Amino acid sequence: MNQGKLKYLSVFINLFLLLLSLPTINISAQSLWTLQSPLPTQNNLTSVDFINENTGFACGENVMLKTTNGGINWLKTNPAPDVYITSVFFIDQSTGWITGDSGNILKTIDEGKNWIPQISGTNKTLYSIHFISNDTGWAAGDSGKILRTNNGGQNWFRQETPTANTLRDIQFISDQFGWAAAGNIALRTTNGGEIWTAYQEFFPGDYISIFFISPEKGWAAGATSSYLSSAVYITSDSGKSWSTQYNSNSTGRLSSIQFTSNDTGYIAGGSPFSQTILKTTNGGQNWVLQSEAGNNPLNSINMISSMEGYAVGNRGLIYKTTNGGDEWINLRSGSINDFYSVWFANENTGWALGYDIFKTTDGGENWFAQLLNYPYRIESSWFISESTGYAVSSNRIYKTTDGGDLWDFQTISETGLQSISFASPELGWTVGSEGLIYKTTDSGNNWVQQFYGFTHLDEVYFINENTGWISGWYGRFVKTTNGGVTWTNQFTGSNGSFSTIFFISPDTGWATDGGGNIIHTTNGGDDWVYQTSGTTHSLTSIFFTSQNDGWASNNNYLIKTSDGGANWVRQTDLPLNGYFSIFFISDKIGWGVGFPGVIAKYDARLVSGNEHIIFIPENFILSQNYPNPFNPKTIINYELGFSNEVLLKVYDVLGNEILTLVNEKKTAGPYSVEFDGSDLPSGIYYYRLTMNGISVSKKMMLIK
């Protein structure tokens, strides 16, 4: 549904005007859309590997993340933009490899700053890579493929295997002894892979991960054919025979196994609806469930010591333990659930709503949870002010009067509420899939059924207290000019399902249907003209800030018009393909929300012809100073993804330059700079880091 819709708001926010007074630069090639949540990524993560307690990598769906401070901050690198990275492995502090789809293998010799493609000789997906030295390593993947290199990957040659099964994991403990997990087969070699022997157990599923602690003793973990139940197997004769140690119908598939000693081991996994971390302290005789808090599976686990480790999974999940797995800390910010509605009361205060409710009071720089894992997803929201707002889901109408800290609800007979709209603080309407229309005249304290006779109503939108529209299935489109007392059919020429409506005035409006069609009226809906959107997929949100400037979107598509919809242009400069719901407070500032837990901000404000964009780029990280507030000294930390000229300056609240802290070429890596405000008065200051034509500014406060 198209959720938050509001008439054009003129917003004057002193903080942002002060930010705009700072020096600006041309970065027109950069995206106007930046990801605000979740951070560091919303992409699925498939593999994690740490070099030491501070430096590690997590990779997955077209993304590579690096941390140099134990997961506190993650730097996005982009070794191969179009590669779905499946595995990462470092042999030492500097040297590592990644594998991916289409036979991709890349190598780094400088801690991941640069990645060099290697020729694998296959176009099959490679799921696992393992090295025992800087020269000798193996990679395994689809169709029983095992590749070996003797020179660090300069040349890869194929080793014959007795199976065409997909190989999910490969491990060597010497240049001779190695194993691979191949469906219901465990492969073993005792001569470096010249000969691979299959040992098949009558296991109705897949070995997904394999780990050996010695040439004789090892474990394999996987899932049954349904992938909803799991099993762990142990061998004491180098993989010739396997016996069941553990099975469960509730943990989902087990994707990654690792032992830190003969007794202590860990497994990560889950199903589409669960998350699993298991631990054993007696060699696998008993496995204890440590974590099942989430509803997205984990794909990889890496214990770097008996106490410290990491696990990564779908939707950008990153977990860390520092006490041997007794507790796992979520390092991913934001929601793991989908958002279906977004609304901003002004430039700073807004909400993203779905199964969770998240709120920001600083324009999206920080988002915090107000409600988590609600059993009914919120379909639509409407806020009257920073304090008062409404939302609907299932048969419930919610209201908050304290900015979302508390939500009261009423239950009505309509079981599928889809949309809510207010024309004034007192007057509001809601509709649903059973064809019911409810109206309130007392700010939501009471809701009265107003009309029945339609079916499957998807959207309601009122432009004033008398004039409103409702749309639904089978081309249903009706209008009222008396506050809903009577409704008149309007002819659109479509039998589709109209799921979004937006009017900029009583005469001018737009609507979208399930086939990607956009219709436009300039006489209140008496006549509708079709516009070409460029897609046949349902558009779930539409928003206009003027008669000319508008956007329409679904979770995989975003289009923009500057001429009232006569021409729609697809937007490609996005953190992801599109948004389920969009909301704009002006033609320069807006937000989009969607799957999974994604919140992105659009910022196209212009200052003297230059684009001013505040965002965290992928080639450096500027951290918040600490302490903050401070007196009189504070530390500013930043990290560079590659070598370049760096400029770090401090400005006062009026944009006057106070001090240059850094102005020189720096190599890639983390840095700390002390700022001393002993000679400055108390107040707000800004520090700005500029590199490669890109700038990031942050605020700090000096209190004496």
131 neighbors 149 (Cβ within 8 angstroms): no
- Grade residue 227 by pLDDT with cuts at 50, 70 and 90: low
Tens of pLDDT, residue by residue over 608-641, are 333 333 333 446 788 888 888 888 999 898 888 7
pLDDT tens string 386-445:
999 999 998 899 999 999 999 999 998 777 899 999 999 999 999 988 888 999 999 999
pLDDT at 294 (0 to 100):
64
339-348, pLDDT tens digit by residue?
999 999 998 9
The closest alpha carbon to 598, from 611, 579, 619, belongs to 579
Q: Quick one: average pLDDT of 488-513?
A: 90
CB 636 within 8 A of CB 687: yes
Report pLDDT digits (tens) over 292-350.
556 788 999 999 999 999 999 998 999 999 999 988 988 988 888 899 999 999 989 99
pLDDT value of position 254: 92
Instruction: Please state, as a whole number, how many other Cβ atoms lie within 10 Å of the Cβ of residue 565.
Output: 23
- Other CB atoms within a 10 A radius of the CB of residue 26 amount to 10
| Contact residues for 35 (Cβ-Cβ < 8 A; gap 6+) | 42, 575, 576, 598, 599, 600
pLDDT value, residue 662: 94
Question: All domains of the chain, ordered by start, with CATH?
Answer: 336-611 (2.130.10.10), 620-702 (2.60.40.3080)
- Is the bond preceding 632 in cis, omega lying within 30 degrees of 0? yes
Q: What percent of the chain has pLDDT over 90?
A: 58
Pairing status of strand 197-200 against strand 185-189: antiparallel
Q: What SS3 class is residue 365?
A: coil
Q: Is the pLDDT of residue 72 over 80?
A: yes
pLDDT at 9 over 70: no
Name the more confident of 225 and 405: 405
The DSSP call for residue 20 is H
The pLDDT of residue 436: 86
Pick from 518, 24, 56: which is nearest to 331 by CA?
Answer: 56
Dihedrals φ, ψ of 54, to 5°?
-105, -40
User: How much is the mean pLDDT over the chain?
Assistant: 86
Report the pLDDT value the prediction gives residue 317, as an integer from 0 to 100.
92
Given the structure tokens 């100073």, which residue do they identify? Answer: 625
Q: What does the pLDDT look like over 186-217, one tens digit per residue?
A: 999 999 999 999 986 645 567 889 999 999 99
Task: Answer yes or no: is pLDDT of 175 > 50.
Answer: yes
Mean pLDDT within 5-25: 34
One-letter-per-residue 3-state SS of 294-311: CCCCEEEEEECCCCCEEE
Q: Which residue has the higher pLDDT, 51 or 474?
A: 51
pLDDT greater than 70 at residue 5: no
Reading the block at residue 659, the tokens are: 């001090």
Q: CB neighbours (10 Å) of residue 655?
A: 14
Q: What letter does residue 144 receive in the DSSP assignment?
A: G
Segment 502-519 shows an average pLDDT of 92
pLDDT tens-digit series, residues 112-153: 888 999 999 999 999 999 999 999 999 999 999 999 999 999
Q: Per-residue pLDDT for 23 more than 50?
A: no
The reported pLDDT for the residue numbered 376 is: 84
% of the chain surpassing 70 pLDDT: 90
Q: Kindly state the tokens that stand for 38.
A: 């979740």
| Strand extents, DSSP E, 545-693 | 550-554, 557-561, 569-570, 581-584, 589-594, 598-603, 606-607, 610-611, 620-622, 633-640, 644-651, 657-666, 669-676, 683-691
- H helices, E strands: number in the chain: 1, 65
Q: C-alpha 477: how far from its chain's center?
A: 35
Whether 408 and 370 have beta carbons less than 8 Å apart is answered as no
Tokens for 569? 């242009």
Which residues, listed in sequence order, are joined to residue 257 by a DSSP beta bridge?
267
DSSP sequence for 203-255:
-SEEEEEEEESSSS-EEEEEEETTSSSEEEEEESSTTSS-EEEEEESSS-EEE
Cβ–Cβ < 8 Å for 644, 691: yes
pLDDT tens digit sequence for 247-292: 888 788 899 999 999 999 999 998 877 789 999 999 999 999 886 5
Token representation of residue 18: 């002060």
* Model pLDDT, residue 618: 46
**Strand, helix or coil at 605?**
coil
Residues 390, 377: Cα–Cα separation, whole Å: 14
The pLDDT of residue 291: 64
